[in-house]
Structure 1
Amino acid sequence: MILMKQNLPAASRSALGEEDAQYLAEVMRALASPLRLRILSCLLEGPATVSELCERLGSAQAAVSNHLRLLRHLNLVVGVRHGRNVCYRLFDEHVNDLLNQAIGHASHLPDRSSE
């Protein structure tokens, strides 16, 4: 994982380097999937197993598992094994904040249903 400059005032941050930009582009592509966003929004409410996510989302186990694999790879979620089940949660508060900011931004956009 690429370590980015964090907790610095905006004026102290330099432009993104190539590696950081590549990593962020991967994260943004991951967030461009409606099902992955729905999985992450479920995890905002708390940890869940694949079975619980499938039930809440009405999605197939294979699809949810594949999306979780990518989200784990990008350090957006972590899974902890409990016997035969793996319980997933958001990686950290930064992911929580990112999702809440995106949801908040979308709620302020003009209504697109009239387009």
Structure 2
Amino acid sequence: MGEDERLEKPNEKDLDEETLFVVSQTFKALSDPTRIRILNLLFEKEYAVNEIAKILGLRQSTVSHQLRFLKNLRLVKYRREKTTLYYSYDDNHVIDLLKQAIEHARHE
């Protein structure tokens, strides 16, 4: 089968539109340095927004905005304790991917 023929014939294992969208959004989430820093921090343990902001030296509004983005992608979750929300990561696959990317970047 030639290359032209492969391009014309649909691949049975081709990704559906929803899968493509979710994968692209996941990589979009991991392409932002602030979101990477937040996810990397949440790998250790859960944190409240103000704790994340203090540790990373960011404004609380910035952290809240990024957490909302990550939550919409189901990459982080939260639990409420009285008036405080504590965030943690919600997807081992994405954390594994992030850790592998960090190890790759640190590999000399």
TM-score, normalized by the shorter chain, greater than 0.5? yes
- Give 1:44's aligned residue: 43
Secondary structure of 2:58 counterpart: coil
For normalisation by structure 2, the TM-score amounts to 0.83
Aligned length: 97
- Give 1:103's aligned residue: 102
Q: 1:98 is matched by which residue type in structure 2?
A: L
Unaligned stretches of 5+ residues in structure 2: 1-12
Query: What pairs up with 1:1-115 in 2 under 5 angstroms?
Result: 14-108=13-107
Distance, in Å, in 1 between the alignment partners of 2:98 and 2:31 is 12
CA RMSD between the two structures:
1.5
Q: CA deviation at 1:92?
A: 3.2
Distance, in Å, in 2 between the alignment partners of 1:95 and 1:84 is 28
Q: 1:63-97 CA distances to partner (integer Å, 9 max, x unpaired)?
A: 00000000000011001111111000010322321
Distance, in Å, in 2 between the alignment partners of 1:38 and 1:105 is 16
Larger-Rg structure: 2
For normalisation by structure 1, the TM-score amounts to 0.78
Distance, in Å, in 2 between the alignment partners of 1:89 and 1:19 is 25
Provide runs of 4+ in structure 1 moved above 6 Å: none
Query: Comparing both chains, which one has the higher relative contact order based on Cα–Cα distances under 8 Å and sequence gaps of 6 or more?
Result: 2
